[in-house]
Amino acid sequence: MRKKLALTMLAVLMSAGITFAQTSGTDPFIWLEARRSPRAMSWVKKQNAKTLPVLEKVPEYAPIHRQLLKIFASKQRIPFPEILGQYIYNFWQDTTHVRGIWRRTTLASYRTANPKWETVIDLDALAKKEHEDWVWKGATCLRPEDQLCMVALSRGGKDAVVWREFDTRSKAFVSHGFELPEAKSDVSWKDANTLWVGTNFGKGSLTTSGYPRIVKEWRRGEPLSAAKTVLEGSVKDVSDSIFSQHTPEGRYDIANKAHTFFKGETYLILGGRLVKLEIPDDAQFYGFFKNQMLLSLRSSWTTGGQTYPQGALLAIDLDRFLQGHRDFKMLFTPTERTSLDNVTWTRNHLLMTVLDNVHSRLYTLSIKDGTWRHKEIPLPGLGTARVVATSDLDDTFFTVYTDFLTPSTLYLSENGAAPEKVKAAPAFFDTSGMRVAQYEATSKDGTKIPYFVVMPRNFEANGKNPTILYGYGGFEVSLLPHYSATIGTAWLSRGGVYVLANIRGGGEFGPRWHRAALKKNRPKAFQDFIAVAEDLIARKITSPRYLGIMGGSNGGLLVGAVFTMRPDLFHAVACQVPLLDMRRYTKIGAGASWIAEYGNPDNPADWAYMKTWSPYQNVRKGVHYPRVFFYTSTADDRVGPAHARKMAAKMEAMGDPVYFYENTEGGHSSGANLKQTAHMWALTYAYFWKMLS
């Protein structure tokens, strides 16, 4: 198994002089929640028509746009690998293949400077042939041969996809093969003739979050309606699924009932029965390696006479576990400043990345006669390492290393040999004279919050540097040092300062860092972000006139909350695909799946604290706010465009001008293709230069 991500209305009509009590829950902009209604789309068109001419005329826009188009389409980019069977696969987009091609080559060819690629699927040609706006969403293939694959195709970038069976040997979709219509489906191969399928089977088959709650075993040749139901969860679950992990030791059929975003029940299917694994409901279940069951803990756990700490990685032989033994081995023990980042494996080695004060460390682990051995793999600097591809057939794996000023570098490791550099991204901007510092800010409750500052050449601490502060702070997601050609060319090389804040709510220091900002403690994430901003000002790196903030999705909620709390602290806000109306967020997109993160606004006790920081409810007439740039997408079926639309409309009704742009494609991302992505980022940085220069 590969670790899944798995990566979420009491308006105050002060503009009309209406008091809180008089609104009785009325929301004058609720009509903007109708994603594609003529009235809503007419409003979007008018907003785009106001914003685009202004931002596209900013002097920096045109050169940034040209540079980004070249960067995104550069043939010198690293073609990041995926190992499937005997081939190296890659999904690639450029000016010729705007939607992209799924292609492959051999390992020997991939190691060369100019690999010989074989096109497997041409998405541009397929979209043209089928008159569809297809966006690639990946493929799941049957291990270990990886000949049969289920390919996910999205219309316009939505999370809802069409699944179609594809044969990589013949390079064609399978005639009368497995196929699922558009839905937020979950698909896994059991064997060559059987799929585990969770999808929209009709009325009552989805959770309130919009994901499958019923999973069936679908055999080749039978109609989906005849498939056997194996798992049935509650409509209150986030989602329910079954997947098969194929290993050299055998196949494991695993079922999961995700009751919340972070809690659920895990089962093995043994002899046709669901056997519940007695592990903590909030543990991160990784799967099986050499018949060892792997899990990490989000809470401390006392079992078998021993207490295992929060954040630990545990392993135990599955047979012993099923027999009642609980003698786990701790493969990783966290400290105050270290945390488990990720776990994956090759045929004979477990691969573990660890964060040490927000820098990566990489280890290989092996087991022999019940004894685990660790070996650290040296990294070239204090940056970020990520295992990007592994083989099930041998011990081949690829790792990418990056930091703020070092272009991504790809390393190949084969059968225990030292990593070999095989690819490196070009230096898209000149880093000479630039430097990086890691500082700490003190939050309101005294907690030390680390953050990185990337300073341009000729930097002076005079309080006048245009500065972008970026944050996320949610869902245990860690923000790590990384090289960004976009940030480098559009911002750093032009004299801007870039800041990355490691606030609570993220996973930089493990589960405790995340839990510190859950639900009623959400304001701690906002306080951390404000503390970083104030520390930047105290160090004279910047000042409120030159300070801008940016965040997307949960990060959009972050910057939305912060600018309504402290409008005096910032002069620019880029609020991207955001959550903002927390009174109705569970009714929009997949919002109901995030109750464990934020709380339930329909619960009076939860709404009592949520209403104190929900941006849509806390923006006020008569307050001077920075002119916010809201970016969203009509095709976003995760967060949805309603939040950004309503916030922009409400602020304008109060007399606060905003910039608003909605892409009709792209889903919950920057765009459906390279051209849209370049356009969005050029608009964003043009906005910051307009506001902060």
Q: Which residues are catalytic?
A: 553, 668
Q: Which of 638, 590, 576, 581 is nearest to 610 (CA)?
A: 581
What is the torsional sign of CA 491, 493, 496, 498?
positive
Residues forming beta bridges with residue 82, ordered by sequence position: 89
- Name residues whose C-beta falls within 8 Å of residue 38's C-beta, 6 or more positions apart in sequence: none
State the sign of the Cα–Cα–Cα–Cα dihedral 376, 381, 387, 392.
Answer: negative
C-beta of residue 398 within 8 angstroms of C-beta of residue 387: yes
Residue among 219, 225, 86, 76 at smallest CA distance from 146: 86
CA distance 570 to 673: 32
CA atoms within 13 A on the CB side of 188: 23
Tell me which amino acid residue 37 is. Answer: S
C-alpha 441/C-alpha 361 separation (Å) is 24
Identify residue 657 by its one-letter amino acid code.
P
Neighbours of 74 (CB within 10 A): 14
- Least Cα distance to 189 among 163, 170, 214, 210 occurs for 163
Question: For residue 184, what are its two tokens?
Answer: 């937020």
**Vertex 648, ends 646 and 652: CA angle to 5°?**
115
**Calpha distance 597→505 (Å, rounded):** 9
List the end-to-end C-alpha distance of the chain, in Å, as a whole number. 48
Length of the chain: 693
In the three-class reduction of DSSP (H, G, I as helix; E, B as strand; rest coil), residue 399 is classed as strand
CB 175 within 8 A of CB 166: no
Q: At how many degrees (to 10) do helices 523-538 and 554-565 cross?
A: 60
3-class DSSP state for residue 525?
helix
> In which residue are the tokens 């969860």 written?
233
List the beta bridge partners of residue 301. 308
- At what angle are helices 642-653 and 38-56 packed, to 10 degrees? 70
Please give the Cα distance from 505 to 135 (Å, whole number). Answer: 31
β-pair partners for 544: none
The pair of structure tokens assigned to 388 is 């990007």
3-class SS letters over 131-192: CCCEEEEEEEECCCCCCEEEEEEEECCCCCEEEEEEECCCCEECCCCCEEEEECCEEEEEEC
C-alpha–C-alpha distance, residues 385 and 493, integer Å = 25
CA–CA separation, 312 and 307 (whole Å): 11
Angle at 482 between CA 476 and CA 484, to 5 degrees: 120
Q: What is the DSSP letter of 82?
A: E
Task: Tell me phi and psi for residue 449, to 5 degrees.
Answer: -115, 110
Q: Residue 172 contacts by C-beta under 8 Å, 6 or more apart in sequence?
A: 166
Give the integer Cα–Cα distance in Å for 680 and 669. 10
- Tokens for 512, please give them: 């405790």
Report the alpha-carbon distance of residue 462 to residue 455 in Å, rounded.
13
